[in-house]
Amino acid sequence: MAPPITLNRNFPPTPNHVWSPFVNKLELRLRLSSIPYTTASGSLPQSPNRKIPYISYQPSPNHTPELLGDSTLITKRLISDHLLPDLNSALSPAEKALDLSIRALLEDKLQFFNTREQWVDNYYPMREGILGQGGAGLPWVMQWLIGGKIYKDIIRTLYGQGTGRYSSDEVRVLKEEVWEAINAFVVEGRNKTLARRRGKGDNGDDKPFWVLGGEGPTEADCTLYGMVAGRLMCSSAAPETGRLVRGYPTLVEYARRIHDRYFEEYDLWEEEI
């Protein structure tokens, strides 16, 4: 029996994806391996590194439950504890480098553009969605105080990182460039996967396909699905990216197939905004 895991998402435990791509990423990672878990709201002050998601994890009945933070480090820990398989173990060194590059493009480049769109360009919908009744359920005064602090911290972070120094038009061009590149990976992965399946007499019309075009998912698929699902769910605070993602039908199909296979009890994101 797997050790009990509670995934803290900073949203009420409803049958939906959340706005955080990292929560969605980790949730898919657990479901790919059929690891039982429960969801809870949790909160940033309780997180071991003040990041969402984090998990409460009991390695064995004789151990005190631990709090683990950061989606990537959580995955690595669960792999080392032999609770999760290593999705990338069969990849060649070059394939592992490509997988890591896709994850870095999404998490270490695109995510800064997402943060700016949500917390700067669409501050009030984001504050309400994260801190209001749809999220943490804080009273208005607390939303105002905490939201203001988050806003100031993000402005400072984005300026230091560089995204805060671009104009809105410059950010839009850079953001579109990333999604265009990601879509190219997905289209190629789809074509490889479907060609291989049809060669075996399986048209695969209702099965997921994977970004590297292999037989199964890799870590990059968890990151990519988490990002796409988060953007499609976050229509009020990321409308520009939502429209951009929906402009790539293969990318939406990629996410839809994974959703239908692994999250069939979850509500689907809005088809249009």
> pLDDT (tens digit, 0 to 9) for every residue of the chain, 273 residues total?
555 899 999 888 888 899 999 999 999 999 999 989 999 988 888 899 889 999 999 888 888 889 999 999 999 999 999 999 999 999 999 999 999 999 999 999 999 999 999 999 999 999 999 898 777 788 999 999 999 999 999 999 999 999 999 999 999 999 999 999 999 999 999 999 988 888 887 766 689 999 999 999 999 999 999 999 999 999 899 999 999 999 999 999 999 999 999 999 999 987 554
Radius of gyration of the chain (CA): 19
* Run of H or E residues at 151: helix 140-161
What pLDDT, on a 0 to 100 scale, did the predictor assign at position 135?
75
Task: Note the pTM of the prediction, 2 decimals.
Answer: 0.94
Q: Which of 180, 255, 272, 190 is nearest to 28 (CA)?
A: 255
Fold of 5-80: Glutaredoxin (3.40.30)
- Residues 11, 131 contacting (CB under 8 angstroms): no
Q: List Cβ neighbours of 245 (8 Å cut-off, separation of 6 or more).
A: 179, 228, 231, 232, 251, 252
Q: Which of 187, 185, 184, 209 is nearest to 197 (CA)?
A: 209
Can you say whether residue 43 is alpha, beta or left, with left for phi > 0 and alpha for psi between -120 and 50 degrees? beta
What pLDDT, on a 0 to 100 scale, did the predictor assign at position 273?
45
What pLDDT, on a 0 to 100 scale, did the predictor assign at position 10?
84
